């Protein structure tokens, strides 16, 4: 299995076998893990990788809204559906 920087590995415990590699790519589900939009969950629309003083960003569709966040604030949690259980935010 090949994986790159920012990809997520789903592993079994305690065996620590790699079950799946979730690629950091457009179309996958992600959660924002830092910043003012922390906890928002949605589909990755675009990934803009920049070099220099401007940070790389990710655009996420959350319900009917679009949120733009920093590349490093994004964590992939699934492809078509979440691979992890998240508590309800209600």
What does the pLDDT read at residue 43? 97
Q: What percent of the chain has pLDDT over 70?
A: 97
Q: Give the span between the Cα atoms of 28 and 58, in whole angstroms.
A: 12
At 33-56, the pLDDT tens digits run 999 999 999 999 999 998 878 889
Q: What percent of the chain has pLDDT over 90?
A: 70
C-alpha distances in Å from residue 5, one per residue of 8, 23, 53, 75, 76? 9, 9, 20, 12, 12
- Is 2.30.30.30 the CATH classification of the domain at 8-13+24-78? yes
Q: Give the span between the Cα atoms of 46 and 26, in whole angstroms.
A: 6
- Evaluate if residue 90 carries a pLDDT over 50: no
Query: How confident is residue 89, by pLDDT bands cut at 50, 70 and 90?
Result: low
Give domain limits for the chain: 8-13+24-78
Place of tokens 């079950």: 19
């Amino acid at each position: 299995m090949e994986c790159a920087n920012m990809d997520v590995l789903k592993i079994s415990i305690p065996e620590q076998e790699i079950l799946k590699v979730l690629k950091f790519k457009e179309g996958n589900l992600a959660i924002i893990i830092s910043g003012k939009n922390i906890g928002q969950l949605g589909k990755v629309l675009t990934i803009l990788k920049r070099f220099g003083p401007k940070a790389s960003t990710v655009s996420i569709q959350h319900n009917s809204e679009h949120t733009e966040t920093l590349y490093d604030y994004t964590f992939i949690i699934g492809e078509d559906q979440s691979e992890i259980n998240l508590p309800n935010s209600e």
